Amino acid sequence: MKKLLVIRFSALGDVALLVPVVQMLAEFYPNWDITVLSRKMCEPLFSAMPENVHFVGADLKGRHHGRKGLETLLQEIDYRSFDRVADMHVVLRSFYLTMRMLFAGKRIAWIHKAHFSKWLMVHGLLPARKPLVTTYKRYQHAFNRLGFDIHISPTDDNPIPPAPGQQTLSPDSPLPSIGIAPFAAHRGKIYPLEKMEKVVEALSRYFYPKGVTVYLFGAGKEEQQILERWQHKMTGVVSLAGQHHMADEIAIMRQLKLLLTMDSANMHLASLAGTRVLSVWGATHPALGFLGFGQHRPDCIQRDLPCRPCSVFGKKPCKYGDYRCMDIPPQTIVERVKQAYYE
């Protein structure tokens, strides 16, 4: 059996976008042994893959740190046994690994990240009305260059089958519940929390009498404290922050009617659950190619401003200092959620 190595270390959302592509590849090519090399934390994303997919978790801050650590990693994965390699990250670590394998005579393909096109768009030289190729399509194209004939469709739903024994929601709610994930990695991607609190409060007042629960998603101590405070202030609101592992959170998302989220990892985890997503965008833009798998532009809540997008990843501070891209009335989001719930 021939062997393929797929490398993508981070970020969580980008690894999640790789999942449906790897799954389709594994199903189309059952005679290929596929190994995904990523960070250990991403392993749950690949737990329900076909039998010809394997996961290797790299310890990049410990045993596999630095050049010596990468050499250890190469020996541990038996790098000479692979026939083809797909570098879906193209950072210094992955490039070192792929070059070592290239010199060993392996066939290599790298993802084309389109850095220049993204630079043009964030500097206003390429209009956002002409969206760039999505990340999962870029993954597909890299596999195509390796000789794999796959054509993934964004209309494919629920790409990961549910794994047994995972967390389920309380059966008390007579109607499907709603999820809200109000956080993201960078300030430019977070809807102001004081406004989001008003959104949660309005949705709880509307949906609680109908028997619909609002579940809150977050990670980390600070986020957990904020969401627990909202839970105590409002009826029909339950915080799940800090209570479940990633695989269980995906299982919970699978049971939701929809998830309201930022441009964040949770947006992509919900895609893996096959759950509809309403996403709020600020400094970043879906036209940059990071929209979740199976998600649609009409479900993106955003302002059409000449300064958007100003950042690829949301790290860049607002040049006006007020993040006007996130100046979206809470009621606008509330009405969009209510409309989507009944569609």
Residue 130 token pair? 């002409």
Helix/strand/coil for 9: coil
pLDDT of residue 152: 83
Residue 99 token pair? 């070059």
d(CA 19, CA 111): 15
Q: Is the pTM of this model over 0.95?
A: no
Residue 258 token pair? 């929809």
Residue 293 token pair? 């798998």
Listed residues 123, 154, 187: the one ending a domain:
123
Q: 212 and 327 in one domain?
A: yes
Which has the closest alpha carbon to 84: 29, 38, 42?
A: 29
- Domain harbouring 38, CATH code: 3.40.50.2000
pLDDT of residue 175: 80
Q: 214 and 296 in one domain?
A: yes
Q: 303 and 234 in one domain?
A: yes
Which has the closest alpha carbon to 337: 249, 283, 276?
A: 276
Q: 194 and 95 in one domain?
A: no
d(CA 333, CA 329): 7
Q: 192 and 301 in one domain?
A: yes
Prior bond of 309 cis (ω within 30°): yes
Listed residues 77, 96, 123: the one ending a domain:
123
Residue 73 located in a structural domain? yes
pLDDT of residue 164: 45
d(CA 146, CA 109): 6
Residue 147 located in a structural domain? no
Residue 328 located in a structural domain? yes
Number of structural domains (the chain) is 2
Which has the closest alpha carbon to 9: 81, 52, 69, 50?
A: 69
Residue 134 located in a structural domain? no
pLDDT of residue 174: 65
* Biggest CA pair distance of the chain: 65
Listed residues 87, 104, 123: the one ending a domain:
123
Residue 129 located in a structural domain? no
CA 132 from chain center: how many Å?
Answer: 17
Q: 92 and 214 in one domain?
A: no
Burial class from Cβ neighbours inside 10 Å (0-12, 13-18, 19+) for residue 14 reads buried
d(CA 9, CA 89): 7
Which has the closest alpha carbon to 143: 110, 178, 175?
A: 110
Residue 140 located in a structural domain? no
Q: 333 and 261 in one domain?
A: yes
CA distances from 12 to 26, 89, 184 (A): 21, 12, 12
Domain extent, residue 114, equals 2-123
Sheet holding 32-39, edge to edge: 53-58, 32-39, 2-7, 84-87, 107-110
The alpha helices in the chain, defined as continuous H runs, are: 12-28, 66-76, 92-103, 115-122, 135-145, 193-207, 221-233, 246-253, 265-272, 330-341
Residue 68 located in a structural domain? yes
The residue count of the chain comes to: 343
Prior bond of 219 cis (ω within 30°): no
CA distances from 87 to 143, 265, 326 (A): 10, 21, 35
Query: Residue 163 is which amino acid?
Result: A
Tell me, what DSSP letter sits at residue 187? G
CA distances from 80 to 12, 22, 39, 99, 299 (A): 28, 21, 21, 12, 45
Residue 65 located in a structural domain? yes
Q: 240 and 107 in one domain?
A: no
Residue 307 token pair? 């300064």
Q: 184 and 300 in one domain?
A: yes
Give the mean pLDDT per block of 10 residues along the chain (343 residues): 97 95 96 98 93 97 97 98 98 97 98 97 94 96 97 61 54 79 97 98 96 95 96 96 91 94 96 95 97 94 97 95 97 98 94
pLDDT of residue 258: 97
List, in order, residues 6 or more apart from 60 with CB less than 8 Å away.
Answer: 9, 39, 69, 93
Q: 108 and 42 in one domain?
A: yes
Q: 247 and 118 in one domain?
A: no
Q: 240 and 114 in one domain?
A: no
